[in-house]
Amino acid sequence: MRLAYIKLAGFKSFAEPTTVPISHDLVGIVGPNGCGKSNVIDAVRWVLGESKASALRGDSMQDVIFSGSENRKAIGRASVEIVFDNHLNKITGQWSSYTEIAIKRVLHRNGISSYFINNLQVRRRDISDLFLGTGVGSHGYAIIEQGMISRIIEAKPLELKNFLEEAAGISQYRERRHDTSLRLTETRKNLIRLEDIHQELETQLQRLETQANTAMQYQLLQDAAHKSQSLLWLQRRADAMHQRDAAKKEIQKLEVELGITLSTQHNAEKDYENTRKKEQAINEQLLQIQGQLYSADAEIGRLQQEITYLRNTQDRLTQQIQRTDAQLQENHQLKETRLENLRHWRQEKADAELSHQCKIIVYKEENNKLPAVETEFFNHQKKLNAYRDNLLILEQTNQLEENHLSHAEKNIQQLETRFARLSNEQNELISIEPSMLMELQSEIAHIERALKDGTLKCKSLENHLSDAAINKQHIIDNIQALQHALSQAIARFSALDDLQKKLNNNQDLNTWLSKHKLDLLPRLWQKIHITPEWENALEAVLRERLNGIESEQLDHVLNWIDDAPNLKWTIFDKNQPNLSDAASRSATHNLVNCRKLLVFLTVAQPEIRQVLENWLYPVYVTEDTKEGLIKRAALKPDEIIVTRQGHIITHNSFTFYAPDSDLHGVLSRQQELIQIQTEIDQHESSLQKQRILLSEAEQQHIELTNILRTVNENNKQLQEQWHKQQLEVVKLTQVNERTTHRNEQINFELTEIRRALDHEISLQKSAKTRFENNLIQIETLKNDEKQAQSTWEATNQALINLRQKILQSAQEVQEAAFHVKTCQNKIIEIEIHIQTIEADLQKLTENHTNLVGEKEKLDTNRINALLHDAQAQRKLIEQAALQVRHEASNIVKELQEIENIRMTSEQKSYSLRETISKFQLKEQAAAITMSQFDTLINEADIEVELLLPLLNKKNTTALQSEIDQINTKIAELGPVNLGALKELEIARARGSNLLIQLHDIGAAIATLDNAIQQIDRETQSRLNDTFYLINKYLDEIFPVIFTGGRARLEFCDNKILDSGLLLMAQPPGKKNSSIHLLSGGEKALTALALIFSLFRLNPAPFCLLDEVDAPLDDNNTKRFCEIVKNMTQHTQFLFISHNKITMEMAQRLIGVTMQEQGVSRIVTVDLADAITMGKRDKQAAIQ
């Protein structure tokens, strides 16, 4: 599996959609600092499910979204997609069939993150599971970022162990164990909850039994209260009937008296109407006279108002004439004032226009001087800037030369130090004798033969152990299946048995049976068996006899007649069969040509068989209803035909069957109970056999495990011996090789150092000479700059003064123009006012003339004469009105006398009606009371005929007292749960289900414990092997990187699963006690040795390296590059580096640039293609 390319859009500095092609095994990413190279590594880590913002160098996960730059707005989402080439089908699971797998992650500003595999949305965990055990992931070692090398060295023991687990491929086991532990915890919690519920249910059952007894007492008391209440209602209904009859008699008597009173009232009303007509005639005459009087008064008032109006009008006209004269005089004065103002502003305007022209001439003269002064200013400024630029360039050049001097001194010092160190190292090199190596190799060959035999034996035992484990698991599966089937059968048996027991739940019947000691006797349905599908037929015929009880003597029934049960029930005598009668009847029943129902019955007891023959001798069966209807003609009066469904056919009738009692299905349930009991017995027998087999399999598994453990321990000891001998050989061989190689290497390096020293000294001298020359030129330029600065400042001040004069002249011109405009506006305003005043004078003159004419037209003499005539006519009308009022007063007195008579009669009739209404209300109240009690009696379904003999034996007070006593007893019972019986049944069923669940959960816990133990065993085995191999590869890789020394991993304690790891490293010539005492470069090389050992054990499909070569010198960088090249056979490398040596090993270089500030872009170069093109160009140039 190889990385094909990476797509980024809106991720950190990659604002635009960008594709990073990775088509080679060694791909390098290069570019200046801060251009966004590490963002490519962050993108890969992020798309693989990284959820910590700090691991991506951010404060929150939204920091990975492009946040904008100076020229770009922020983006609302970030997406990264990595595409893998899977043509070799290295990925397992549901994605193995795809030749290309694309993993994509999208994050929005609102925090919603989505994951996709081949454009199908998945969970984050699906992506993590895809790379479990490959070294790629949050705890993997395939992505090594900046600073991660130091974190590996300084990691805690448990953190370091995560790398070992990832290399061992047991991270998937760890995830499975974690999930299994969580499920086990939840299962144990469920078990505790179920146990609590079961205990609670036991307490509830006890409480419900008590409540059920209370409910039965409550029902008895309610029946007694119902009977007393019914008697009370009947008694009160009779009392209401007597009250209704008495009210009817009183109403008839009052109605006669009301008729006499109404007659008297009617006569008084007739007299009142006649007198009323006379009164209306007098009133009409009086109204006519009053109308004439009102007309006279109105005319007098009108004339008086007219006279008053004329006088007021004269006064008003006089006042208006005076006001008009005053306004005319005021307007003439105002007109003179406005004309004087007009002459003043015209003179002011002429003076302002002359001043404005003078100031314009001054402004133009000053403005013409400005171009010459500005030109001089810009020339001096340009000259000053040129001096400053030259001075800045010389200062920067001199600073650079100074840096070259310090760098050369530092390089010379480093080279001298390195020369001394290499000389000392060359003197300390040692060599090993060949004979010692030969002896060690012969011992290794002997150990290898013994180890091979042990490995073969171990594999054989592992195969046997695997077969035993499979057999054990198969038996466990069989046991679990049998336990599940058994629990289901028990549950069905309990449910059916509860239904059968409900037949005995009638409290009254149970009490009666217990009283007569019949409650322990079996029922008839428990002693018979019928062929399946004929249960309904037998139930339809026998009905309640199915629940009957046998008796030795049927005569005992006479003792129970007075104390009979309150429902249908049967007792049969099994000792007096009528065999001769049954035989004779059976001989005459062949005419129907049908089988009898007895044929389908199976009865163990002969006496029960005889009873059933007596009951069922006339019962025939048919499977077809149509056939039964045809054969009914042959039936005798006491014979019947019953169908499979239970329908009954007689000679003259057809009765449909329908379940109408608790006995329905009792026979089918009884047969099913027998079958389930047989099934339970079979399951228990099979379960016992499987448990014996499981015990034997477990014993075999333990024996094989012990043998395998012994063999593994022996192999481990041999492996350790072989490893020690091999390590010693490798050490001695490597010491010889390293000594020779190192000696040559030191000679070469010493030569190179001498050359480098000569070169650096020559560079130092030339840089010093250039530095001194630059100092002299800088001093000269500074003097020239000061002179140019003073000249520029003088020119600048002259330019500023001229611009201020021009600005002041422009302001004066504007002020003069504004003054001219103000004068013109004032002149226009005054002219408008004069025109308005002249118009007002003309209107006032016309108004004055009109008012004088109107006043002369007014005359009051004619109206005074009319007023005198109207007052004389009014006096005559008043005399006629007095006479008519006297006649009207006499008629009013007569009306009052008649009204008194009518009112007396009306009051008496009203009183009588009220009395009648009261009695009618009493009658209605009695009728309503009777109706209410009738409704209560009908709703209560009271048998009135049975209660009538008891009526009037007790009065209502006694009945009410009896009811109160019963209610008191009911209240003493306290709260009554009427549904307690039903709740009790439900609680018992729930208890049986809880027991089944407790059993299932116990089995589940045992299964989960076994799974965890198996995972722990597998994890420990793999961890041991991985630990051994990693140490082996460390012993090989560490001396190559350091040219000597040794490194190893050690457990903190003996508990491998829980113990952390310590990394111990000792470079050649050092005996440090802790890895923290190493230098930065040594720590980096040690971490790389560990990582490359992990890769050698479990190569990750790809590896990302972010400037891991930064702390390495050139020689160590070359070793690092060689190791990386050797590992490209199994792993694809994508690295970031600033080192030229590391860049040279890349097959493709990807450049990251930031031409636009804050936005990264990609430039790719295929080095092989570039070299080929260079060779072609060179050949073409030669030709």
Cα 2 from Cα 486, distance rounded (Å): 54
Q: Which DSSP category does 78 fall into?
A: E
Q: What pairs with residue 573 in β-bridges?
A: 551
The one-letter amino acid at 916: I
- Look-up: residue for tokens 């012994």? 710
Binding residues for ATP: 32-39
Nearest of 907, 471, 426 to residue 704 by alpha carbon: 471
Burial of 226 (0-12, 13-18, 19+ CB in 10 A): middle
Q: What is the DSSP string of 372-422?
A: HHHHHHHHHHHHHHHHHHHHHHHHHHHHHHHHHHHHHHHHHHHHHHHHHHH
Cα 617 from Cα 614, distance rounded (Å): 6
Q: Which DSSP category does 1158 fall into?
A: T
Q: Are 867 and 874 in contact (CB under 8 A)?
A: no
Q: Are 1139 and 1118 in contact (CB under 8 A)?
A: no
> Structure tokens of 378?
């810009």
The full 3-state SS of 1138-1153, as one line of letters, equals: CCHHHHHCCCEEEEEE
Cα 640 from Cα 412, distance rounded (Å): 129
Nearest of 726, 139, 671 to residue 446 by alpha carbon: 726
Cα 201 from Cα 192, distance rounded (Å): 14
> Structure tokens of 115?
């994951």
Rounded to the nearest 5°, which phi and psi values hold at 550? -80, 155
The one-letter amino acid at 187: T
Burial of 390 (0-12, 13-18, 19+ CB in 10 A): middle
Nearest of 495, 316, 258, 458 to residue 985 by alpha carbon: 495
Q: Alpha carbon 717 to chain centroid distance? A: 57
Q: Are 177 and 1019 in contact (CB under 8 A)?
A: yes
- Look-up: residue for tokens 């109970």? 673
Sheet of 113-117, strand order: 18-21, 2-9, 77-85, 100-108, 113-117, 120-122
Q: What share of the chain is helix, strand, coil (3-state, %, to 5)?
A: 70, 10, 20
Cα 1034 from Cα 196, distance rounded (Å): 56
Taking phi first (over 0 means left), then psi (-120 to 50 degrees means alpha), and beta for anything else, what does residue 137 get?
A: left
431-to-727, 730, 1042 alpha-carbon distances in Å: 17, 14, 18
Rounded to the nearest 5°, which phi and psi values hold at 1136? -115, 135
Cα 1117 from Cα 102, distance rounded (Å): 34
- Look-up: residue for tokens 């005798």? 636
700-to-355, 706, 1008, 1116 alpha-carbon distances in Å: 130, 10, 22, 56
Rounded to the nearest 5°, which phi and psi values hold at 1079? -75, 175
Q: What pairs with residue 1050 in β-bridges?
A: 1062
Binding residues: 32-39
Nearest of 1179, 1134, 1144, 1149 to residue 38 by alpha carbon: 1134
- Look-up: residue for tokens 């009271």? 942
